[in-house]
């Protein structure tokens, strides 16, 4: 019987992490479990930066971006020694189950702890949406909406000046934020890490639009795209004669109040994680498929390769011309 659990957030923060923390803590307390919050992810685990989580610890955090438990990318924990130390600390502190809220690297860490005999459950939280086993990750929806807000503003100024605005969004090696945002803002071009960039094709589109009297052009570029913003700008300027401006949205996409989707999704996941622990599960990565919560072994979940949704790319092609 589990009596005490711990939870941590790790890697890049994502809007909705707080909603997940709240759901884990409230569900656990309702089931008479003791709850320990580990601050600063795996780095805080190694430093034993622990706080006791009470009902009041999670009041008024649901709507907040960031993570009240703080986060970090821990190099120490990636070493075999760090990993073993982390497992030992959890064992000594009689933690019966650990909930890890984070992206790919964080869930890999949870998998390794599980292999060392620590009961772990992983919740997907990353704006990148690069975990293939789940249709969504906490923070992705909010990040797209933040990008759409910025892209809407850029459309206004692009039109007023008749310029091409090239906008870089986050996503690491995954083009999901870029593709979803490009469709959502009606962009003229999108460059993704998963596709060879057809920059001459884009120049033709922009030239045709100019001949038709269309004034604005928005090009969304995923940060993992093989071409830099400066390279794209140089080719567009030369081939279209248009004035080009570049914008990097950057960490703006990582913050902000989570959308209703992220709040609900994170809340469902948090309660689900505790239910799994109470049922004696371990080594499970939770996610969502066709609107239903699902869980897989870490091994199965993390082995699935993330591919671009071709149907969405085709939709972009159809609607952008
Ligand atoms: O994984 C989330 C993410 O925001 C990526 O999109 C981006 O490449 C990276 O983190 C940035 O990391 P950092 O906040 O450490 O600069």
Give one DSSP letter per residue of 95-158, joined into a string.
Answer: --EEEEEESHHHHHHHHHHHHTT--EEEEEB-TT---TTSS--BTHHHHHHHHHHHHHHHHHHH
Measured between alpha carbons, how far is 231 from 261 in angstroms, rounded to an integer?
36
- Count of residues making up the chain: 321
Beta pairing class for 97-102 and 244-248: unpaired
For ligand 1, atom 11, which residue shows the shortest CA distance?
12
Radius of gyration of the chain (CA): 22
Q: Which residues contact 270 (CB under 8 A, 6 or more apart)?
A: 19, 20, 21, 22, 23, 24, 25, 26, 27, 99, 123
Residues of the chain with pLDDT under 70: none
Beta pairing class for 4-9 and 97-102: parallel
The Å distance, Cα 12 to ligand 1 centre, comes to: 6
Measured between alpha carbons, how far is 99 from 290 in angstroms, rounded to an integer?
24
Number of H helices, E strands in the chain: 11, 11
Phi, psi of 6 (to 5 degrees): -130, 160
Domain regions of the chain by residue span: 4-139+258-303, 140-254
For ligand 1, atom 10, which residue shows the shortest CA distance?
12
Tens of pLDDT, residues 180-214: 999 999 999 999 999 999 999 999 999 999 999 99
Extended beta strands in the chain, E state: 4-9, 34-38, 50-52, 97-102, 120-124, 164-169, 189-191, 217-222, 244-248, 284-289, 292-297
Shortest-distance atom of ligand 1 to CA 253: 4
Amino acid 288: pLDDT: 98
Burial label for 102, CB within 10 Å (0-12, 13-18, 19+), is buried
Shortest-distance atom of ligand 1 to CA 171: 6
Domain 4-139+258-303 identical in fold to domain 140-254: yes
Q: Is 128 tagged catalytic?
A: yes
Fold of 140-254: Rossmann fold (3.40.50)
Distances (CA, A) of 85 to 92, 112, 210: 10, 12, 62
For ligand 1, atom 13, which residue shows the shortest CA distance?
12
> Is 259 strand, coil or helix?
coil
Pocket test for ligand 1, best of 172, 192, 224, 253 (most atoms within 8 A of CB): 172
Tokens of 228: 């830099």
Amino acid 321: pLDDT: 84
Amino acid 306: pLDDT: 97
Fold of 4-139+258-303: Rossmann fold (3.40.50)
Which candidate in 49, 60, 93, 128 is catalytic? Answer: 128
What single-letter DSSP state applies at residue 16? T
The answer to whether 49 touches 80, Cβ cutoff 8 Å, is no
Amino acid 229: pLDDT: 98
Pocket of ligand 1 (CB under 6 A): 12, 103, 126-128, 170-172, 223, 254
Measured between alpha carbons, how far is 254 from 16 in angstroms, rounded to an integer?
10
Shortest-distance atom of ligand 1 to CA 127: 2
The Å distance, Cα 213 to ligand 1 centre, comes to: 38
For ligand 1, atom 7, which residue shows the shortest CA distance?
172
CA nearest neighbour of 72 among 49, 88, 96, 98: 49
Cα of 292 vs its chain's centroid, Å: 19
Shortest-distance atom of ligand 1 to CA 224: 8
For ligand 1, atom 9, which residue shows the shortest CA distance?
172
The Å distance, Cα 172 to ligand 1 centre, comes to: 7
The Å distance, Cα 15 to ligand 1 centre, comes to: 13
Measured between alpha carbons, how far is 29 from 106 in angstroms, rounded to an integer?
24
CA nearest neighbour of 135 among 306, 281, 275, 253: 306
């Amino acid at each position: 019987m589990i009596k005490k659990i711990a939870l941590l957030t790790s890697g890049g923060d994502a809007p909705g992490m707080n909603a997940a923390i709240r759901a884990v803590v409230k569900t656990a307390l309702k089931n008479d479990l003791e709850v320990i919050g580990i601050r600063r992810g795996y780095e805080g685990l190694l430093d034993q930066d622990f706080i006791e989580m009470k009902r009041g610890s999670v009041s008024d955090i649901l709507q907040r971006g960031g993570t009240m438990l703080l986060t970090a990318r821990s190099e120490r924990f990636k070493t075999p020694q760090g990993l073993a130390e982390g497992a030992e600390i959890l064992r000594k502190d009689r933690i019966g189950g650990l909930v890890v809220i984070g992206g790919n690297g964080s869930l890999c860490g949870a998998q390794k702890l599980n292999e060392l005999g620590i009961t772990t459950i992983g919740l997907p939280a990353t704006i990148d949406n690069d975990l293939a086993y789940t249709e969504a990750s906490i923070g992705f929806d909010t990040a797209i909406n933040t990008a759409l807000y910025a892209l809407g503003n850029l459309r206004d100024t692009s039109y007023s000046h008749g310029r091409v605005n090239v906008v870089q969004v986050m996503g690491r090696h995954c083009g999901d934020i870029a593709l979803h945002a490009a469709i959502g803002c009606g962009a003229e071009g999108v460059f993704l890490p998963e596709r060879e960039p057809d920059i001459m094709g884009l120049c033709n589109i922009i030239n045709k639009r100019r001949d038709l009297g269309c004034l604005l052009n928005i090009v969304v570029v995923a940060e993992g795209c093989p071409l830099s913003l400066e390279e794209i700008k140089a080719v567009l300027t030369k081939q279209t004669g248009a004035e080009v401006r570049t914008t990097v949205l950057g960490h703006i996409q990582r913050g902000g109040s989570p959308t209703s989707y992220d709040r609900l999704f994170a809340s469902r996941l948090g309660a689900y994680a505790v239910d799994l622990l109470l049922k004696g599960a371990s080594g499970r990565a939770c996610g969502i498929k066709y609107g239903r919560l699902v869980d897989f072994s870490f091994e199965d979940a993390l082995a699935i390769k993330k591919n671009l949704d071709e149907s969405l790319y085709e939709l972009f092609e159809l609607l952008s011309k």
